[in-house]
């Protein structure tokens, strides 16, 4: 049975009841997945279509789907149960806070951020999840040699991410290896033949 972790305001946590934080320590991942294996994160996982397909394709990896809507977390849990994927877990949490405040450095092999809410209106753009500080956190949380994959249908969002990532030493732009399972939103956009933007960045092998 795949158990989601509770989402609570960090301000309300006490050291005794802080179970989320415990899970987010490097050793804690083994507690969540009951085994040691590379961690792959799908952040803002939606209905978990990508995460479940990726977990199925890579039983040797631990796939963590992070989503802030509880109903979608439950959907991912059901998929893990029905498709017998003990290597897929769902975390009910804000993924930017997870990376910024509760993740160990060099703890993830891959980070996928697929079609984050685009907030296209200029006055709403400060609400976008992928911003400079969060990119810093992504780089810190990746293992050396690990990669970050970002996809969006919003050209402006992609341009901002591209330029912020280019300022980070130790983050190298790579060709998209392709061949990944599609996410729910990707399927929708591709069926309409909408242009998609984004790419893959790899953390330098010698990076911290």
Nearer to ligand SAM among residue 93 and residue 207 (C-beta): 93
Can you say how many angstroms the Cα of residue 5 is from the centroid of all Cα atoms in its chain?
16
190 binds ligand SAM (CB under 6 A): no
Among candidate residues 75, 92, 128, the one with its CA nearest the CA of residue 8? 92
Per annotation, catalytic residue among 42, 117, 154, 208: 117
22 binds ligand SAM (CB under 6 A): no
- Going by C-beta distance under 8 Å and a sequence separation of 6 or more, which residues neighbour residue 171? 135, 139, 148, 165, 201, 202, 203, 204
44 binds ligand SAM (CB under 6 A): yes
- The verdict on whether 117 is a catalytic residue reads yes
For the chain, how far is it from start to end, CA to CA, in angstroms? 35
Nearer to ligand SAM among residue 45 and residue 141 (C-beta): 45
- Going by C-beta distance under 8 Å and a sequence separation of 6 or more, which residues neighbour residue 56? 83, 85
Applying CB under 6 A, what is the total number of residues that bind ligand SAM?
20
Binds ligand SAM by CB under 6 A, chosen from 3, 81, 117, 176: 117
Minimum CB separation of residue 46 from ligand SAM in Å reads 3
Minimum CB separation of residue 44 from ligand SAM in Å reads 3
Residue nearest to ligand SAM (CB): 46
72 binds ligand SAM (CB under 6 A): yes
Minimum CB separation of residue 130 from ligand SAM in Å reads 10
- Going by C-beta distance under 8 Å and a sequence separation of 6 or more, which residues neighbour residue 117? 44, 127, 128, 129
Q: Encoding tokens for residue 94?
A: 């804000």
> CB under 6 A: which stretch of 29-37, 43-51, 82-90, 161-169 binds ligand SAM?
43-51
- Going by C-beta distance under 8 Å and a sequence separation of 6 or more, which residues neighbour residue 24? 98, 102, 103, 104
Among candidate residues 134, 92, 112, the one with its CA nearest the CA of residue 39? 112
Rounded distance, CA 163 to CA 168, Å?
A: 9
24 binds ligand SAM (CB under 6 A): no
Binds ligand SAM by CB under 6 A, chosen from 2, 40, 111, 116: 116
184 binds ligand SAM (CB under 6 A): yes
Q: Which residues pair with 133 in a beta bridge?
A: none
Q: Which residues are catalytic?
A: 117
User: Which positions touch ligand SAM (CB under 6 A)?
Assistant: 44-46, 66-69, 72, 94-96, 114-117, 129, 183-186
């Amino acid at each position: 049975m795949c158990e989601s972790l509770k989402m609570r305001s960090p301000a309300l946590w006490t050291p005794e009841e802080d179970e989320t934080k415990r899970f987010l320590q490097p050793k804690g991942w083994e507690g969540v997945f009951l085994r040691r294996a590379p961690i792959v994160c799908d952040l803002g996982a939606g209905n978990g279509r990508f995460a479940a397909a990726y977990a199925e394709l890579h039983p040797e990896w631990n796939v963590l789907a992070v989503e802030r809507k509880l109903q979608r977390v439950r959907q991912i849990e059901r998929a893990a149960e029905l498709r017998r994927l003990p290597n897929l877990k769902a975390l009910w949490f804000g993924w930017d806070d997870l990376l910024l405040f509760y993740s160990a450095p060099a703890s993830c092999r891959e980070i996928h951020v697929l079609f984050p809410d685009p907030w296209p209106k200029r006055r709403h753009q400060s609400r976008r999840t992928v911003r400079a500080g969060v990119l810093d956190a992504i780089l810190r949380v990746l293992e050396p040699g690990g990669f970050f994959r970002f996809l969006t249908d919003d050209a402006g969002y992609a341009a901002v991410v591209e330029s912020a990532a280019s300022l980070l030493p130790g983050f190298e732009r790579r060709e998209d290896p392709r061949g990944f399972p599609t996410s729910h939103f990707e399927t929708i956009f591709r069926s309409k033949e909408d242009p998609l933007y984004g790419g893959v960045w790899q953390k330098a092998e010698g990076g911290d």
